[in-house]
Structure formats: C-alpha cells, structure tokens
Structure 1
C-alpha cells in the first residue's frame, strides 16, 4: 500500500527538520528536557544529546532500505519516550514547552496527538519493510507530514501559566510573619532533581534576604530553611512548575518571580526584585 510505503519518508523528514533546530541550541533543548521534571537535572543535557543523536541516526537509517526497520524501531522508541513524558506533564497539570522542534509550543492535546501519529507512522514504516524508493511516495509523504503538523491546530491551545505578576499578592497559607523587607519564597517539590540541586543556592540567598521553602506536599526539608506546605500554592498563584522563585515585600506584594532551575535564573529574579522598592 502506497501509504505504508511512504511512511518512512514522512518520519525521516520530521526527524531531519527537528534535529537541526535543536542542534542550534542544545542547552535550550536540554532546558526543555529539564522542564518535563521526569529526570534528575544532571541528566538533562546527556539525555538531550542522546535524543538528538538518535534522531539523526534514525533519519539516516530510514532512508536506507536495508536498514529501514532499524531506523523505524529507533524512531518508534523516541516517539514513545516523548509520549510518556508528555502524558506525565499533562497528568500533573504542568505548563511546559514541548521542545519538539526547537520552539516554545506548549505540551497539550495537540502535541500529544501529533506525537502519537508520528509513532504510528514509525511503526508503519517498520512493518512495510525495505521497500524501494518510488516517486509516488513523495506526494503521499507530504500529505502525511501535513496531517502531522496540522493536527495540533485542531486542539485549543492551553493558556500558559505565567506565575504571579509584580504588584499582585502572593497567596500562601501558613506562611510565617516576614522578618525583613524582602522574602524569597522558593517553590520546590519532592522528587524534583532540579529542586534538590538548587537547595544550596536558596540557602546562600538567605545571606541577602529571608528565604522560605514552599512545597505542595510534605516531605521537603533541609538546607536549614523554614518550610511551608500549601497544597494549592501552585494553582492559586498560576505557577507552572518547580523550582520557582517569588520575591515579595513584607506585606506579601510580589516584587518579582520566575523559574529558578539554575543559579543564573534565580539571580535574574533577585536582580529584578532589588530594583523595586519593598512594601
């Protein structure tokens, strides 16, 4: 069947488009991998590099009839891993950049459907076997590509979480009375590798201002910092994922906020807060 015989071209084209976009910004792709919060932070870069290598190798194997089934198998494993990670994100209600083609599309039903379709095409390519190239495969592959890339448009895009805005009130239950003019609330989560890696950075910030760890579930402690458990803190403040930093004044007014997956990100939040007069 011409559709099955053309599937390998569609999958190879997708991989050959996706890989260069990510290669132009490997650290950015690694940050997207870290954003899924399914791996310890230290593994984000090695996993990103391995995924890129697998995409390139799979695309090359798909274009060689004798090796096509191996290429299809690698592609199927990649798309399966992507699907598992996306499902994990959606089940946790997180707002995460897909990182699929080097862009900032959010993980959602559309990206899930597109990845599922690509997985089906990879499996189809493997089952079709070492079919020789025929010109008729090109337009059919183009139609399959069109379906894959138009699929996300059939689903309504979810509004991305943006976090609390400066000037708003940081809603937190059970917070201790602030002792200083500024307070850094470091939002963390058990099992989050990046959160654990950032604990020393949050502790070091205590020399500059009061620091409080905030978690939605119990089980977080350490670094000698006070911990507040508030199950609804992420939803109530529209915070996408941990680790996240919010700096407020004494009265709880937000001075600055943002992701804190690394020391540089945390420092940017602190710098923005220091430019605002405390309240």
Structure 2
C-alpha cells in the first residue's frame, strides 16, 4: 500500500508546480484573488501572494526528491490546510470570489473544496514515501492519482452547479424592483461585474457608452462601498446593486455578463459580454 506514496508525492508536486507557474504569469491577478477573500489587510496581500507562490515552488521541489519528501509533505499539508480554511471562510460569508487556485477563473465552491481536500490527503500520504527511490512507473501512478482528484472535483462541481443562465421570459431578481431603474422605459441592461475581473475593467467604458441608449445598472457580489470605490477609480458612475447572492439568484455563470429586461423585469436576452462585439450582439437580440 505504501508503494502509492511516491506517486502521491509526484502528483502533488506536479499540481503545486503547475499552480505556481500560472500565478507567476499573472501575479497581479493572483494578488487580486487573495484580496478577494477579505482576510488580510491590504498591505499584506502582495506579501502573502508571493509567499504562497514561493511555498508552492519549494514544496514541489521537495516532494520531487525522495530524501526531502517528508519536508515537502509537511509544507504541502500546511498550504492545502490554509487554502481550505480560506475557502471555507468565503463560503460561510456567502461570498462569490475567484478561487485563485490554478490557471483559470474558477470560483470558490464545492469543486475547489473537493480538489483541495483530496490534495491534502495525498500530501499527507506522500510523507510515507521518503525512502522509496524514483522509478518511471511512479509517473504513471501520479498521473492516475491526479486524474482521480481533478475528475472527482469536476463531478462535484457539476452536481453542485447552479442553473447555467437566466431564462428568457422569467422575472429578473436582484433584490430590488427592476422598475426602479426603468425610468418609464421598456428596456434595462443589467451588467454583472467584479473588481477581480480583468475583462470587466475593459468592458466598463462600453457599458457607460450604452447608458446613453438604455438604462444600465451594474450588479456585483462585492461589498457596495468597495465596488463603488473601484468604479470611481475607473471613472464609472452608473447605478450599482450589490449582494452576496446576486449571481446565484439568476444562475449567472460569471462576469462580465449582461441581462436585458423589459420595464417589468422579464428577461429579454442575456449572454457573456467579455468583448464589445458580444455586447453589441446582446443589444441586437433585445431590439436595441
């Protein structure tokens, strides 16, 4: 049974190395993800972000070499335990934030918790293989274990998934009466954004330009004051609605996303709008 500890060590080393390289490619984006957890003072965020990347690289190196696997195992256990604590805190507070885990825009949820928990188990198991020399077959075992971890996480994420998108004709809910924003008109555009979303920053001027044709309301899961300060820094003064469950309420998969309703709140059209041409297509679908 202990023969699987060496593949476990290599699997965890590979995941840590992959995660660290992705974060190094966009360290500013990873720092934003760390800030999104709202567990650290602003000045500590870049320090912790760099420390995490460094620890992942060191952990990967220690786990890859048999003589140092015990130390790599201990470091990986600390890392994954800290990640689980942070993600659990986010979910308890009803927040919807970027996981910052790998090279993507995954949100904290059941899938990320499952993957991190399984990696923690592998990291613990890896410590038992310090006296096992490297053999090529261990790489096959590592790939198999990594596949099990990521496959299980993907399955849990799919089972836990919210509806993939709003439903045309269904009433739109944001915790505020849509007619408050219609201004007597027959169309309103609700744009889901996040300060952690790079594409959202690009699209904000586009939403502002559309506001000359139809009322535009920005929707975010962040704290109102923080999002308003972010928008002020971008020179955006559009109406804003925030709430921890504004994405889940309508099954919006993630920002930037836009929903056009009529004056009573019935959904007319919706789609992801990470480029100006997609926003133009949405407006065309809604007859604007």
Q: Report if TM-score (shorter chain) is over 0.5.
A: yes
Output the TM-score relative to the length of structure 2. 0.60
Q: Equivalent residue of 1:133, what SS?
A: coil
Output the TM-score relative to the length of structure 1. 0.61
Matches of residues 45-60 of structure 1 in structure 2 within 5 Å?
Answer: 55-60=56-61
Q: Residue 275 in 1 paired to residue 274 in 2?
A: no
Matches of residues 121-200 of structure 1 in structure 2 within 5 Å?
Answer: 121-126=122-127, 128=128, 130-133=130-133, 138=138, 148-149=149-150, 151-152=152-153, 155=156, 157-172=159-174, 173-175=176-178, 176=180, 178-179=182-183, 180=185, 182-187=187-192, 193-194=195-196, 198=201
Report if the CA contact (8 A) 1:171-1:237 is conserved.
Answer: yes
Indicate how the Cα distance of structure 1 residues 36 and 46 shifts in structure 2: closer, same or farther if over 3 A, else same: closer
- Give the superposition deviation at 1:152: 3.9
- Give the superposition deviation at 1:68: 3.3
Q: Distance in 2 between matches of 1:124 and 1:142?
A: 16
Q: Equivalent residue of 2:285, what SS?
A: coil
Aligned to 2:251, which of 229, 238, 254? 238
Q: Distance in 2 between matches of 1:56 and 1:218?
A: 33
Range moving further from structure 2, 193-202 or 6-15: 193-202
Report if the CA contact (8 A) 2:260-2:286 is conserved.
Answer: no
Report if the CA contact (8 A) 1:8-1:122 is conserved.
Answer: yes
Higher helix share: 2
Report if the CA contact (8 A) 1:69-1:125 is conserved.
Answer: yes
Range moving further from structure 2, 45-54 or 231-240: 45-54
**Deviations 1:58-106 (CA, angstroms, capped at 9, x unpaired):** 3233222444345334433442344245434544667888786658987
1:226 paired residue number: 239
Q: Residue 207 in 1 paired to residue 212 in 2?
A: yes
- Please, which runs of 5 or more residues in structure 1 have no aligned partner? none
- Give the superposition deviation at 1:184: 2.3
